[in-house]
Structure 1
C-alpha cells in the first residue's frame, strides 16, 4: 500500500507537527545538524589524537636503572626509588589533562550545539525572506488590482529569478484581465449601434398606422442588414479576443454602395434626433476590402456624429477619389474637438470632455475600431476639427487596381 492510497485522515496523521513541519524549521535543523556535526567531528578528532599521543608516547620513558629520557632525547639520572614516583606523577598528570580536555570538549559541544541552532535559524530566516516577500505580495493581490510587484532587490540568484518570474507572470495576468475588460467594453459598444438601428426603425414603422408594404419591406431589409452586421461583429470580436486583431474578408466593392447602405440605416435615427442626414458618393470608388468591416467603421462615425449633433443641424456622409486613394467621410456640426485632443480621440476609452457636448457614458471604443479597420485595409483615418465648428472624419483607403 502506498502513501497516496491511504485515507486522507491517515495521511494527515502521518504528517509532522506544525512547528516541525515548517520549511524554516526544517532548514534550521539541517544547518544546525551540519554545523554541529562538523564541530563535533573536529573536537572528537582533537581529543582522540591527544589521548592517543599521551597514551602511546609519554613525555618521558625509563631506559635503565635511574635513567629517564625525555621526548627530546635528553637523559636524566634520578635515584632509583624516585624514578617510579616520577613516572607515576606523569601518568596522573596526563590522565587529569585528558579528563579536563573531556570536560571542555563536552562544554564546547554544548555551546556549539546552541550556536549551530541559532545560526541555522538565522540563516533559514534570511534564505526564506524573499519567499516570505513573494507570499506577502501574493496574499495582497486581488483580481481587481494586479499592479503590485515584488521587485526583489538582491543579487542575481535563483530566488531573484523566482521573484522576477513571478513579476512577469503578474504582468501577463494583468494584461489578460485588461484585455478581458476591453473585450467586454468593445462587445457592448459594437453591438449597441446595430441594436439602436433595429429598434429605431421598428419603432418608427410600428408607430406609423399608414405604413405600406414597401415601408415594411424597407424596414425588414434594414433589420436584416443590421443583424448580419451583428453576427459578423460577434465573430470578429471573438477572433479579436483570441488573436488581438480583426478577421477581414477581401472582395472588390464600391464605397458608394457602403455609403448609401450605411446612410439608409441611420435615416430613422437621424429623424428621431431631428438631424438632417445627407449622403453623396459617385459610383466607381472601387477598393479591395471587407464590406461589413467598412460598414461597421462608417456606422461608428455616423453614431458618434448623430450623438453630438444639435437638432436642426446636418450630418453629411460623402465619398470620393484622389489619386491612388479613395475616401469616405462623415462630418457634423457639433461642438468639435480641440487640436490637442486630435490624437487622443483615437485612444481606447477616451471619452472627451462632457462639457463640450461629448456623451459622458460613451465607452470610447468606436473611433479606436475605426482606426483599426482603416489600418487593416492598408489605409488611415484623418480628423479635421475646430472647437465650435464641428468635426469631419475621413477613411482613406488604397484604390483597387
Structure 2
C-alpha cells in the first residue's frame, strides 16, 4: 500500500501548531501552579476590640476558612475553564497562522517547481531567474538555472554532432558508390563473384544511407524548429502513402481496408508529417506476414485528429512494444535482422508527433499484430496544401 503523502506545507503547519500549543500548555501550567500556591489565613487582633471567648473565636475562624476555601475553589474552577477555552481558541488560531506562515515560506519553492515543470527539451533556453534575497531558495534556483544551461549546451552539441557527422559521412558513401559503378561498368567481363560482392556492397551502402537519413530526420524532429507550417489532411497523406507502396502490398498479398476521414486536418511541417505517415505505413507492410491485413482509419475527436494503423500478425509482448518508440529497438527476432530497416522508423514517428504537440501510442492487439495510433491537434482552418 502506498504511504500517506504529507506535503511540506502540512508538516510545517503541524510543526508550528504543535510548538505553539506546547508553549501555551507550559505557560498555563506555570500560571495554575502559581495560583495553586495556597492561601494563608492570618489572625490579627485589633487594639480596643471587645474580648471574645475562645469557642466563639474558633467558630468564627472555621466559618471564615470555609468561605475562603469555597471562594478559592470557585476561582480555581473559573481559572481552569478559562484556560481550557483560551487553549482551544489559540489551538485553532495557531493552526491557521501556521498554515499561512508555511504557505508564505514555501511559496518560492512552488514557483520554482512550476517553472521547472514547464521547461522541457524543447525550451531549455528558459531560466527560472529567481528574484529576492540571497538565501537558500535563491541558491536552489540558481543551481537549477546552471543545470539547465549545461543541458542546453549538451543538447546543442549533440544536434551539431549528429548533423555534421551525417553530412560528412555522405561524401565517402557517394564516392564508394561511384567507384563501384565505375568498376562494374568496365568493358572487360566481371567475374560473378565480384558482381555479387558489388551488389552486396551497394545494399549495405543503401542501408547506411537510410540510417544517416534517419539520423538527420530524428535530429530535426526532436530539436528542429518547425517554421514552414501548413494545413494537411491526414487521410490524404495516408492514401498517398498507400498508393506509393501498392507494389509492396501486392507482393505480400496484403488486404488493405482504409477508412480515411477527410475531415482529419492538422497543421505542421509537410515534409515531417509525410515522413511520419510513410514510416507508419512502411512498418505496417514490412513487419506484416504474407497474406495479412492492414486497417487504416483517420478520425477527429474534439480537438484531436487521429490516425490509426492496425496490422495482423503474431502475438506481441506489450513490454517490448512500449520500447519500439526508442531508437534501434526491434521486436524479438527482428533485432537480429540487418537488412530490414534501421530501427529508427517508429522513433522518428514518435519524435515528429511530439514536435507537433501530438503523441504516438503503440498497443499489442489481443488477436495478434500491432496497433499504432498517432494523435495530433486539429487545424483551426482547413485549407488544402
TM-score class, shorter-chain normalisation, is: 0.3 to 0.5
**Bigger-Rg structure (1/2):** 1
